[in-house]
Amino acid sequence: MSETTYEYSPGLAGVPCAKSSVCYLDGSIGKLQYRGYPIEALAESCTYEEVAHLLLIGELPKAAELAAFDALLRKARAVPATVLGTLKSLPATTHPMTALSIGVSSLAAHIHGDHQKSAAFRRDAAIQLVAKLPTIVAAWERVRSGKEPISPNSALAHAANFLYMLDGKEPDALVAHTMDVALVLHAEHQMNASTFAARVTGSTLADPSTTMASAIGALSGPLHGGANEEVLKMIATIPASSPDTIRAWAEDRLAKKAKISGFGHREYKVKDPRASILQNLSMQVFAKFGATPDYGMATELEKQMATLTGAKGVYPNVDFYSGILYSKLGIATDLFTPIFAIARISGWLAHWLEQLEDNRIFRPNQIWTGSADRNVTQLAAR
């Protein structure tokens, strides 16, 4: 039996699977750009709404374009009663990512049209999904606590409205700004696992809600979206905050080849630029509301790790500070990854839209490792 020889790359590492103009990433120098704009400039000067417009439409909006786009988002925030009913039927122990996946899948019954041929419908569907994800996440947080969901507040911007829907209180301006920047930083990151899942599902011409549910499913895995939760758990295991103790703890982990959550990234060989931005934001939040022991431990761990693993290109990634920051904002730990999805939905949708411009269904090959041409023995003789 002849078999074509292929070069095998575990995890498709380094194998291009698409041509894209959505995101540029050069991890060797810490360069991350959305459609050519540096992440540092976007985080400093643009709201999440502007960034979502950039990703979905292709350009940063002018004032009138932003006003129109923002109005569409605000109008589309409400979730159908049947979707809320589905959430209310789930056990309270359901993980928020599972609830989000179910909620988004159920939107397929409400967001439907000719997504294969109608560019106008695809754009409308994208706006609806960006607008509705925060509502679903906030609604589940309320429902699992035995409370009624809070309706969206059309007077508030995207990030502030999400925080409002969690507890019914308009957030502090710095808190709202912090969440807005966090959403910008997580909005897109090239061909990661969840984005690839979205493009593969989209390539089958599945509807937009189902396509986004597949991306959410990929993000739910602990190797992708859950690292910031693990950072908090990890820091809690460090016995004391002194530099010597933290260094000894890190050396012990490294000697055992145990993972140190929040450090290292498959793409970055320098400090993740998003981690630096979040660290600066954290300092502002802590200056206003008080620091936490976790932050002090984290900054000392970063110092120690720089001397232990910096030469190997192992530095903090975006997850290292995001969980600490969200925790300070009073957000439940298991909501960290759903917030990631709230941000990344615009990037996933940008890739979905791009995929459908010149679509070809994904159908990769394999390297055969099994037996061949085996004889079937009759059941009585086995």
Q: How far apart are CA 14 and CA 18, in angstroms?
A: 12
Active site residue 265: yes
Which residues lie closer than 8 Å to 110 by C-beta, 6 or more apart?
Answer: 80, 82, 83
Tell me the two tokens of residue 256.
């055992």
Q: How far apart are CA 175 and CA 167, in angstroms?
A: 14
* Ramachandran angles phi, psi of 10, nearest 5°: -55, 135
Q: How far apart are CA 195 and CA 193, in angstroms?
A: 6
Active site residue 351: no
In contact, 47 and 221? CB cutoff 8 Å? no
Catalytic residue (one of 53, 158, 265, 351): 265
In contact, 55 and 346? CB cutoff 8 Å? yes
| E-only strand ranges, 176-246 | none
Cα 301 off chain centre by: 25
Q: Which whole-number Å values give the CA distances from 212 to 73, 121, 207, 316, in the listed order? A: 17, 16, 9, 28
Catalytic residue (one of 70, 180, 294, 319): 319
Q: How far apart are CA 67 and CA 249, in angstroms?
A: 51
Amino acid identity, position 84:
L
Active site (catalytic) residues: 265, 319
